[in-house]
Amino acid sequence: MVTLADVARHAGVSASTVSYVLSGKRSISAATRERIQHSIDTLGYRPHAGARALASSRTGILALMMPLRTGLYVPVLMEIAMAVTTTARSHGYDVLLLTGEEGPEAVRRVEGSAIADAMIVMDVGIDDPRLPCLREAARPSVLIGLPTESAEAADTAGLDCVDLDFEAAGARCVDHLAGLGHTGIAVLGEPPAVYERGTGFAARTLTGLRAAAGAHGVGLLHRPVDGTYAAVTAAVTRIFEERPGTTGLVVQNEAAVEPLLALLRHQRRAVPEDVSVVAICPDQIALHASVPLTAVSVPAREIGRLAVERLVRRLAGEEPRGTELIAPRLTARASTGPAAPGVPSARTEDRHGHGGH
């Protein structure tokens, strides 16, 4: 193995000079820099990560806590993970992947063993048990998500958060449908497990949906669904039975999109003539669905990128703290249109508790 000492010897300089060439932390004469660089290339030297970590207490690693819990839609998570690794590499960092259910223990392990310089925390829930550890931790961290039902109620003191503004996204969907004259709106939400865990983004979306429905005086029915044909069929059938005046559907469940569209076709409900559909999902899904969907896009790549950039700035000593929510962008496509005239209205209802309307 080639060490820094080997390079120093080969170039006829001291070890510290080589180190400073690498780090750029002090000025080196062009002549010696070139000589050293040449030795580095010739010998194929690479700094030893462990030695560097020990001496500098910086690992060049970011930990990504991505628990893959039931009901989550994997491709979106993966897109975030990709953006994280890509952005991290562009800043010279590698990414350690933590997918387990270990929770707080994993945070302590990363912190205590100095495995990583900082961490990115995904799948944040309301009262997430990892939060106390993160607040105490000496190393910076960024949450992808908010640990609250609403941005206003956010107890994010001492935390850095990055996410889509799901609350505004929910509101935006209802605004769009209400603006088209729809007065009976139903929401196909994430799988029940997601709400039961108190997952932040789902709760915040619901808050926004309800607020906007209230403001517009339109009825809102909310149904969590698993992303299967059977579950979607059952839920949608019940929605139309219970409230036949439903003409607007909001879907926040990537896996349910195609089952829903297939079912509507099968039931001979034309989109958007009979039913308008607004999704909250990545652009790719909205575009490639069997009917191009009007949707608020979930900017997975941007979220991952932002999280890393914040962390990198924090590690560089800056303090860009606080919550940064990306404003939702709704793109109108083929799945929404004006409400058919004369449809009956209905009262707000809710199945998930938290006291609807």
Partner DNA sequence: TTGAAAGCGCTAACAG
Partner DNA sequence: CTGTTAGCGCTTTCAA
With CB under 7 A as the contact rule, the residue among 34, 38, 42, 56 that binds DNA is 56
Does 50 engage in binding with its own copies (CB under 8 A)? Answer: yes
Give the one entry of DNA, its own copies, none that residue 100 binds, where binding means its C-beta sits below a cut-off of 5 to 8 angstroms depending on kind: its own copies
HSE-up of residue 217 (Cα within 13 Å, Cβ side)? 2
Does 195 engage in binding with DNA (CB under 7 A)? Answer: no
- Residues contacting 352, CB < 8 A, separation 6+: 189, 195, 206, 222, 224
Q: Tell how strand 322-326 and strand 160-164 pair up.
A: parallel
CA nearest neighbour of 81 among 69, 95, 92: 95
Which of residues 112 and 353 has its CB atom nearest to its own copies in the complex? 112
CB 294 within 8 Å of CB 257 = no
Which of residues 207 and 297 has its CB atom nearest to its own copies in the complex? 297
CB 344 within 8 Å of CB 244 = yes
Applying the rule CB under 7 A, the residues between 36 and 55 that interact with DNA are 45-48, 51-52, 54-55
Give the one entry of its own copies, DNA, none that residue 17 binds, where binding means its C-beta sits below a cut-off of 5 to 8 angstroms depending on kind: DNA
The residue assigned the tokens 């998500």 is 145
Judged by CB under 7 A, the number of residues near DNA is 31
CB 303 within 8 Å of CB 82 = no
Give the one entry of DNA, its own copies, none that residue 20 binds, where binding means its C-beta sits below a cut-off of 5 to 8 angstroms depending on kind: DNA
What is the H or E stretch that residue 163 is in? strand 160-164
Rounded least distance, CB 100 to its own copies, Å: 6
- Tokens (6 digits) for 122: 């995904």
- Tokens (6 digits) for 334: 């083929």
Give the one entry of DNA, its own copies, none that residue 94 binds, where binding means its C-beta sits below a cut-off of 5 to 8 angstroms depending on kind: its own copies
Does 5 engage in binding with its own copies (CB under 8 A)? Answer: no
Strand partners, 223: 188
Give the one entry of DNA, its own copies, none that residue 98 binds, where binding means its C-beta sits below a cut-off of 5 to 8 angstroms depending on kind: its own copies
CA–CA dist 222, 207 (Å, integer): 11
Which of residues 15 and 263 has its CB atom nearest to DNA in the complex? 15
Does 193 engage in binding with its own copies (CB under 8 A)? Answer: no
CA nearest neighbour of 296 among 250, 345, 244, 344: 250
Does 229 engage in binding with its own copies (CB under 8 A)? Answer: yes
Applying the rule CB under 7 A, the residues between 3 and 32 that interact with DNA are 3-5, 12-17, 19-20, 22-23, 25-29, 31-32
SS3 216: helix
The site for its own copies (CB under 8 A) is made up of 44, 46-54, 57, 59, 61, 64, 68, 74-75, 77-79, 81-82, 85-86, 89, 94-100, 102, 108-109, 112-115, 228-229, 258-259, 262, 288, 290
